[in-house]
Structure 1
Amino acid sequence: MTLSRYLDECAIRAAAVLGHGVEASISLREHGISLRAGSSTPGAGRCDQAEARADTGPCIDAMRRGTVLTTRLADMVPGWEAWQAAAEAEGFVQALAVPAEVGPGARVAINVYSRTPGDWPAGLVDAAVGHAALAADAVRLQLQFADLGDAVAGLYRTMTDRATVEQAVGAIMASNDCPEDEARAVLRTAADRRGLTEREVAEAIVRTLVLGGEGDVIGDLDR
């Protein structure tokens, strides 16, 4: 099973286990790039895509801070307008964002969405923490396999700079449902902010998302 499919299934299982009619989406951040990695429903996925494209929202802020965040859609949070508009359009009234560490500079988070107002049921937050940890374990394992796999390592290291960047741009476009120029700008900005080449940032994306899935792309990365 590819990583992208596993994270989709992880989001589906999380929503089913958490119950209470919730929906879930998983985001991954690495090298300052946010991508939607898996979702239990298209609606939850669209919310995370809007958040990733704006580079701000509960899931991204939770990963940046390393803390669990809860929010009600009725409470306007400055900077979250794009995510909030998407969540309201889907009929959600509140969300819970739970981050988990993958490794240095890389985190995942699970966004839990609900159309029912009121306090989160007892035990739901703890269960969401557990599912976020499972998603982080899956990404960590993928990176370890990429490190150990000579065939995989040899493949991405012998790819030309152009081919690597094109693969990464395609992954960003597919994950966040954004146009090519926006995906290229995301890659370029992430490289500039960290003093890295576009090849270095693109290689991280290809290594984690593309080669791990035999050409399949998944969604969300870290800052």
Structure 2
Amino acid sequence: MEPTAEAEHILSLHELVTGSADIKGILQGVTCFASIAIGQAAGATIDCALTLRRRKRTATIAGSSEKAELLDRIEQTLGQGPCVDALNAGRPVLLADVATDVAWPEYSRVLTAEGVCSALGVPMDLGETSEAVLSFFAPATGLFTESVITEAAAFAEVAGSTLRLAIRIETADQLNADLKTAMASRTLIDLARGVIMAQNRCSPEEAFKMLGQASSHRNQKLHTVAADIIAHLSGSPEAPLRFED
């Protein structure tokens, strides 16, 4: 039994997530798969770009070609175009012919200059904290038929589930890295506090207060001052730092 197109997309995208090291690489892979899938459905070369937006982060843009990525960046900068409207409307939006378009005239002029005659924006469902949209660019009009748009929407649905998984994995990895950094910083501070206690014969609370005063006086973060103390203690030719209450 031959696998369906959707099953093939799921397998390819699953391999992409397990084989890529970062979210940018995953986005790049998604646009390449999308370009091939929709190109086959349309019977022509279709370029694809993807914009991912997450809270408190700058947008991440990837493309199946440099031209696709450039056109997507320009659309995001202009704030007008089918992909921008698709993201707001939550459904595919078609720019059928740049020569007759009146909805996004400035962007249509950019597309014309790059040899693009029609474009399609397809949103992806990523939940409440993220949003993404696929942009497709065609070299002729009439290629984004109803069946092709349906295929693009189906691909976006499958790819959306893949991106949700990739984002969760990246978030978990980042949290793990942040925890490790915090633990390392805390260990360094505790070591420095021990040095101050030994040098000044004071309590842990008094040592931490001295460390805080040094941090404020130097306008440096606490772990930076702590690292300096440990560096001096571990072999620097300079004398170990001492703090007086």
* RMSD value, Cα: 2.7
Distance change >3 Å, CA 31–CA 101, structure 1 → 2: same
Aligned to 2:47: 23
TM-score (norm 2): 0.56
Moved more, 93-102 or 53-62: 53-62
- Counterpart of 1:163 in structure 2 is none
Equivalent residues in 2 for 1:5-84 (5 A)?
5-19=25-39, 20-31=44-55, 35-71=59-95, 72-78=97-103, 80-84=104-108
Quick one: structure 1 residues 47 and 155, their matched pair in 2 at CA, closer, same or farther if it must change by over 3 Å?
farther
* Mapped partners of 2:84, 2:182: distance in 1: 30
Question: In 2, Cα distance between the equivalents of 1:152 and 1:67?
Answer: 37
Percent of aligned positions with the same letter in both sequences?
A: 20
String of CA shifts for 1:164-212, please: whole Å, max 9, x gaps. xxxxxxxxxxxxxxxxxxxxxxxxxxxxxxxxxxxxxxxxxxxxxxxxx
Secondary structure of the equivalent of 1:103? coil
- 1:97-120 deviation line (CA, Å, top 9, x unaligned): 111110115221111110111252
Residue 139 (str. 1) matches residue 159 (str. 2): no
- 1:3 and 1:138 in contact (8 A); partners too: no
Where in structure 2 are the equivalents of 1:86-105 lying within 5 Å? 86-105=110-129
**Contiguous gaps of at least 5 residues in structure 2:** 1-19, 184-245
Classify 1:74/1:33 alpha carbon distance in 2 versus 1 (closer, same or farther; 3 Å).
farther
State the structure with more CA Rg: 2
Count of aligned positions: 157
What's the secondary structure of 2:53's corresponding residue?
A: strand
Matched letter for residue 5 of structure 1? G
Partners of 2:85 and 2:56 in 1: CA distance: 12
d(CA) in 2 for partners of 1:117, 1:156? 53
Alignment correspondent of 1:179: none
CA distance in 1, matches of 2:154, 2:146: 14
> Do 1:8 and 1:38's aligned partners in 2 also have CA atoms closer than 8 Å?
yes
- Deviation, 1:134, is 3.6
**Where does structure 1 lack aligned partners over 5 or more consecutive residues?**
159-223
Q: Which amino acid aligns with 2:100?
A: D
Query: Is the CA contact 1:58–1:69 (under 8 Å) kept in the aligned structure 2?
Result: yes
Q: What code does the residue aligned with 1:10 have?
A: V
The one-letter code matched in structure 1 to 2:30 is C
> Quick one: distance in 1 between partners of 2:115 and 2:146?
23
1:120 aligns with 2:130: no
Cα contact 2:125–2:131 (8 A) shared by 1: yes
Structure 1 residues 35 and 148, CA, compared in 2 at 3 Å: closer, same or farther? closer
- 1:154 is aligned, of 173, 179, 183, to 179
Q: Over residues 118-172 of structure 1, what are the superposed CA-to-partner deviations in whole Å (9 max), with x where a residue is unaligned?
A: 25246321221133224322331233224434423437989xxxxxxxxxxxxxx
With over 3 angstroms needed to count, the CA separation of the structure-2 counterparts of 1:3 and 1:147, relative to structure 1, is: closer
